[in-house]
Amino acid sequence: MENTFYTLHDFFVFTKGSAYILMGVILLGILGFWLFITGRDEETFIK
Amino acid sequence: MSTAAELKKTWLTPFNIIVGIILLVGGFVTILRFTKGLAGVTNLTDNYPWGIWISFDLLCGVALAAGGFTTSAACYVFGLKRFHSAVRPAILTAFLGYSLVVFALHYDVGRPWRLPYPFFVQSGTTSVLFEVGLCVFLYLITLFVEWVPSALEWLGFKKPRNVIVRMTLALTIFGVVLSTMHQSSLGALYLIAPSKMHPLWYSMFLPLFFFVSAIAAGLSMVIYEGTLSHHYLHDKMDKVYLSEHEGVTFGFAKGAAVVLVVYFFIKIVGITLDNNWHYLLTGYGAWFLFELLGFVALPAFLYAVAVREHNACLVRWAAVLTVLGIILNRFNVSLVAFNWQLPSAQKYFPSWMEIAISVFIVTVGLLVFRFIATKMPIFYEHPDFREHVPHEGEEEEAPEFVEHELKPHPQSFGH
């Protein structure tokens, strides 16, 4: 019977890897959020 | 109608009656607290040495008083002078907030007369609590000095007022540094208890969570306090304050929206780095999601929509949600998630006297705020000390304010 043995190294590889991917999502998310907030500012500016 | 009857009619308003009852009950419990000790009035135990007086009066009080350093930093450090009229109300709120924090500490610590010991007798320089205490002590002095010009203008002391006003930038920078340190250190206090706190709230980023959420709380509190002041102290505001109010509301709403989104994302990063996703499916997870989605993500979204649609009413609702969310977060960290593995029979719930003291302290704060805001130049510029430079096309007339409010301006003082 096979038992999977996870080490601390495995844990960090998994969590840090997830965090790196999340960072990309966050960067795009904040950029989108900022564009959403300031969208009408630009319309006012063009007028 | 006789004078006595008129006086009775003037004083017996619903507000005064409620405040009177709160002050009487608060005074009674205060006597009990200092004659019978902590055990006589609180439900604190060895498992819960910190109760509602720390959770609400201290943690929430400090977070909600963050409007002082955020507003003055925006105006004097980042040069956003359009927020200038919001600085004095924000500084006053912060000064009273921190004063009440220290006032509340006198109830909570066993021997309040030893509060200065860590600084002058036995410094525990390796303790996070020492840093928090020192920062709060220094920041309270800083806020007092920042607030004092309004009192000096009211009293007519021109020279000392001008000396202090020249120190504004230095005081602001000092305040920002101290606030950054102790707002985060309040979160760091809980780093010592990883086995007692629920993993969803415990994180190595607790100091960062506390600091970032305090900025959102401060910005929202300025909006909320401005709304209440607009309603109840409208006649004490001059044209400059009233004309800048809308810009302050939307400017701060935009800032709060961004800060809340950043806070939301770093909370997600915290869960990811600790790999706590599986806890979200438990009862505590549901409560955590209620806090995160209902009081962080929702107000961030509401702020964004309100700024985009230019809807001031929605901004105010978002501010109320954010303020409630910060209170909920501090309660969750210090009480709900704390000792989460204890049987429910051993959990802490505050006694009515603890709640009465907290209500008493908030009421004292409201009364002092109302007294200062109606007497001193908080929402208007004193005509002898005008700093406002009219914008292009703006009339250069003196701001309107109630003349009698300037009367306690004894000419015999100063000059």
Alpha carbon distance B238, B378 (integer Å)? 10
Query: Average pLDDT of chain B?
Result: 89
pLDDT band at residue B406 using 50, 70 and 90 as cut-offs: very low
Alpha carbon distance B177, B98 (integer Å)? 16
Q: What is the pLDDT of residues B242-287, one digit of tens each?
A: 888 889 999 999 999 999 999 999 999 999 999 999 999 999 999 9
Which range has the worst mean pLDDT, B195-204, B263-272, B385-394, B405-414?
B405-414
With pLDDT > 90 as the criterion, what percentage of chain B qualifies? Answer: 76
Examine the pLDDT at B187 and tell me if it is beyond 90: yes
CB B172 within 8 A of CB B77: yes
**Domains of chain B from N-terminus onward:** 59-380 (1.20.1630.10)
Examine the pLDDT at B301 and tell me if it is beyond 80: yes
Buried b / exposed e along B341-376 (16+ C-beta atoms within 10 A):
eeeeeebbebbebbebbbebbbbbbeeebeebbebb
Q: Do residue A37 and residue B304 have CB atoms under 8 angstroms apart?
A: yes
The position carrying tokens 């509340």 is B104
3-state secondary structure of B197: strand
HSE toward the beta carbon, residue B365, CA cutoff 13 A:
23
| pLDDT (0 to 100) of residue A44 | 58
Residue by residue, DSSP assigns B369-399 as HHHHHHHSSSSS--GGG--PPPPTT---PPP
Alpha carbon distance B239, B222 (integer Å)? 19
Buried b / exposed e along B274-305 (16+ C-beta atoms within 10 A):
bebeebeeeebbebbeebbeebbbbbbbbbbb
Using the Cβ of A10 and the Cβ atoms of chain B, whether some distance falls under 8 Å is answered with no
Q: What is the mean pLDDT of residues B47-70?
A: 94
Name the pTM for this structure: 0.88
Helix axes A8-46, B298-309, angle to 10 degrees: 20
Q: How many CB atoms lie within 10 A of CB A8?
A: 7
Q: Do residue A26 and residue B304 have CB atoms under 8 angstroms apart?
A: no
Q: Do residue B310 and residue A26 have CB atoms under 8 angstroms apart?
A: no
What's the token pair of residue B244?
């800048």
Examine the pLDDT at B405 and tell me if it is beyond 90: no
Element (H, E) at B171: helix B168-188
What's the token pair of residue B216?
């959102």
Q: Nearest C-alpha of chain A: how many angstroms from B414?
A: 48
Of A14, A22, A39, the CB nearest to B308: A39
Report A:15-34 residues touching B (Cβ under 8 A): 15-16, 18-19, 22-23, 26, 29-30, 33-34
DSSP state of B80: -
Examine the pLDDT at B392 and tell me if it is beyond 60: no
Examine the pLDDT at B214 and tell me if it is beyond 90: yes
Give the ipTM of the model, two decimals please.
0.86
| pLDDT (0 to 100) of residue B293 | 97
Residue by residue, DSSP assigns B220-250 as HHHHHHHHHHHHHSGGG--HHHHHHHHHHHH
CB B142 within 8 A of CB B130: no
With pLDDT > 70 as the criterion, what percentage of chain B qualifies? Answer: 91
CB B335 within 8 A of CB B34: no
Examine the pLDDT at B239 and tell me if it is beyond 60: yes
Q: What is the pLDDT of residues B332-342, one digit of tens each?
A: 999 999 999 99
